[in-house]
Amino acid sequence: MKTLVCITPGQLDYTTTAIPELKEGFSLLKIKRIGICGTDLHAFEGTQPFFSYPRILGHELAAEYVQGDAPGFAPGEAVTFIPYFNCGKCVACRMGKPNCCAKMNVCGVHVDGGMREYLLVPSNLLLHGEGLNFDELALVEPLAIGAHGVRRAGVTPGEFVLVVGAGPIGLGAMEFARIAGGKVIALDINNNRLAFCKEKLKVSFTINGLEENVVERLQEITNGEMPTVVIDATGNLRAINAGFDYMAHGARYVLIGLQKGELVIAHPEFHKREATLMSSRNATHEDFSHVIASMKKGLVNPETYITHRVTFDQVKDHFASWLKPETGVIKAMVSVA
């Protein structure tokens, strides 16, 4: 089968590999769509933590079920799956938090992913397509990341929620903060992304961090109180550290974005707010189900996010361009024949 491998940072090559052999506890899938995410792009440029090469990228996937021992799944059925392969035995798994398993293997990060024609996945992580099309199913995972961050924050109706970073993960966080009843504020430095938030996601408030005084603008929007929820979806150290200045007293700060540096906190400012700092890693079955249900109800239009389309044969030639801001990519979607 045709396979695309990230050999080293900056180098992708097509090769031929064997179709995986079926084994107990696993199911074979025929890949139909691959969403390109920040993790893939960062791996390509060599800035992704927890990464080793060579690696087959790809974990935002939609597929046809081929065969396996997954009860209730039929050959030819449209499916997606949870790409976080957990051990089921560690302290996190026992606490019902498989998304942060101590021995986590993320498909396309720690183990080879779905940039190939067929993939073997644990049967217990499969999800029924529920009538969604392949494009929609390939977007469930990135939207679930945002949904999980919003659930971690415990967003309640009427409160101001600041989402920093209007990339695909941040946009998903905005969508699910809105669904939870939050009054969403988008902060980014790209006016095209902010316009997308207004026009496509109906975000009420946007701030350009390079052109406006962020603190003053937040005070204006929130009547001087500041947001009670701040969510970072940038993975940028400067942006993350700045986020501590944007919190209301009693606020929750959730870090979805990930970077390699150290956080810098003014402890007196953090302490007097009795603020809560949380990380948000991956997502759970509950989040995936919430995303699928929201799509089926029409609360989220996943097609909004797809700005670029290529075939599997074209990925190598286009991949580097998706790192460039001028490309204007929100989500590149790959079709596999």
In a domain, 35, yes or no: yes
Which pTM value belongs to this model?
0.95
- Residue 251: domain span: 147-279
Task: Using a pLDDT cut of 90, give the percent of the chain over it.
Answer: 93
CATH number, position 206: 3.40.50.720
Q: What is the mean pLDDT of the chain?
A: 96
pLDDT of residue 151: 98
15-35 pLDDT, tens digit each: 999 999 999 999 999 999 999
Shared-domain flag, residues 104 and 77: yes
pLDDT tier for residue 43 given thresholds of 50, 70 and 90 = very high
Shared-domain flag, residues 17 and 129: yes
With a cut of 80, say whether residue 48 has pLDDT above it: no
With a cut of 80, say whether residue 50 has pLDDT above it: no
At CB < 8 A and 24+ separation, what contacts does 316-319 make? 316/4, 316/12, 316/13, 316/14, 319/12, 319/36, 319/44
Cα end-to-end span (Å), the chain? 12
With a cut of 90, say whether residue 337 has pLDDT above it: no
Shared-domain flag, residues 221 and 184: yes
pLDDT tier for residue 193 given thresholds of 50, 70 and 90 = very high
Shared-domain flag, residues 314 and 267: no
With a cut of 90, say whether residue 166 has pLDDT above it: yes
Shared-domain flag, residues 249 and 326: no
Shared-domain flag, residues 36 and 115: yes
Region 140-169: what's the mean pLDDT?
97
Rounded Cα distance, 79 and 128, in Å: 5
pLDDT of residue 303: 85
Q: Which residues, 6 or more positions from 317, have their beta carbon under 8 angstroms from its beta carbon? A: none
In a domain, 7, yes or no: yes
277-319 pLDDT, tens digit each: 999 999 999 999 999 999 999 999 988 999 999 999 999 999 9
In a domain, 293, yes or no: no
Shared-domain flag, residues 272 and 326: no
Say if CB 149 and CB 175 are below 8 A apart: no
Say if CB 51 and CB 43 are below 8 A apart: yes
Shared-domain flag, residues 249 and 313: no
Shared-domain flag, residues 81 and 30: yes
CATH number, position 42: 3.90.180.10
pLDDT tier for residue 89 given thresholds of 50, 70 and 90 = very high
Question: What's the domain count of the chain?
Answer: 2
Shared-domain flag, residues 69 and 185: no
In a domain, 133, yes or no: yes
In a domain, 294, yes or no: no
In a domain, 272, yes or no: yes
218 or 42: which carries more pLDDT confidence? Answer: 218
Shared-domain flag, residues 165 and 74: no
Shared-domain flag, residues 75 and 158: no
Region 104-125: what's the mean pLDDT?
97
In a domain, 285, yes or no: no
Rounded Cα distance, 224 and 129, in Å: 45
Rounded Cα distance, 174 and 314, in Å: 31
In a domain, 292, yes or no: no
pLDDT of residue 47: 81
Burial of 289 (0-12, 13-18, 19+ CB in 10 A): middle
With a cut of 80, say whether residue 249 has pLDDT above it: yes
